[in-house]
Amino acid sequence: MLTLCSLFARAEDPVYKVEVLIFANQDPAALKEQTWHSLEIPRRAAAELGNGGSGTYQRLPGNNLVLTAEKNRLARQQGFRTLFHGAWYQPVGNQNSSRPVHLRGGQLMPNGAYELDGYISIDRGSSLHLRPDLYYTSISSQATDKLLMATLNTPRSMKPNQIHYLDNPLFGVLVLIQR
């Protein structure tokens, strides 16, 4: 009975368009500024973005992307490189019913992982909340077989229809959530 009630509650969650642009900062000064970790990327149940379908959790075609001008501007600046740029529709409910979305991008690393890997969750209460759990992996300059990892996992309250910026010295995230 409880499961049936939660299905009905989820079916009524409003659907939002989510667009995320994640880019690497390859400035050598940023590499020195970063606190590195040697840890594993946690695996969890999450939505995987499909390609080209319709409905929720399907990547939208390029002509539906709003942050393309920002992506192009970053591409023209030395030291920045796009790791992920995509948009999709998803239902957004409360924190307990929020479904994380798995994001990957950038180069494939020697261990088979992607340079960018992790999750974002979006939920709503009195406002929208973005909960990133993103990992940026780099090869150590001292030992080519050692991978170092930086994280971005600070939650942020957001307003719909506004571009929000989250940053780490090594990578940044632009997010736009539209109703």
Render pLDDT for 101-148 as a digit per residue (tens, 0 to 9). Answer: 999 999 998 878 899 999 999 999 889 999 999 999 887 767 666 778
Q: What percent of the chain has pLDDT over 90?
A: 61
133 to 27, 71, 79, 103, 120: CA distances (angstroms): 23, 22, 24, 10, 6
Mean pLDDT over each residue of the chain, to the nearest integer: 87
- Model confidence at 70, pLDDT cuts 50, 70, 90, reads very high
- Model confidence at 34, pLDDT cuts 50, 70, 90, reads low
162 to 29, 135, 165, 174, 175: CA distances (angstroms): 30, 24, 10, 10, 8
Residue 29 backbone phi and psi in degrees, to 5 = -65, -35
Write down the pLDDT at residue 143: 64
Write down the pLDDT at residue 35: 67
Which is more confident, 142 or 74? 74
Domain residue extents for the chain: 14-178
Render pLDDT for 16-31 as a digit per residue (tens, 0 to 9). Answer: 999 999 999 888 777 6
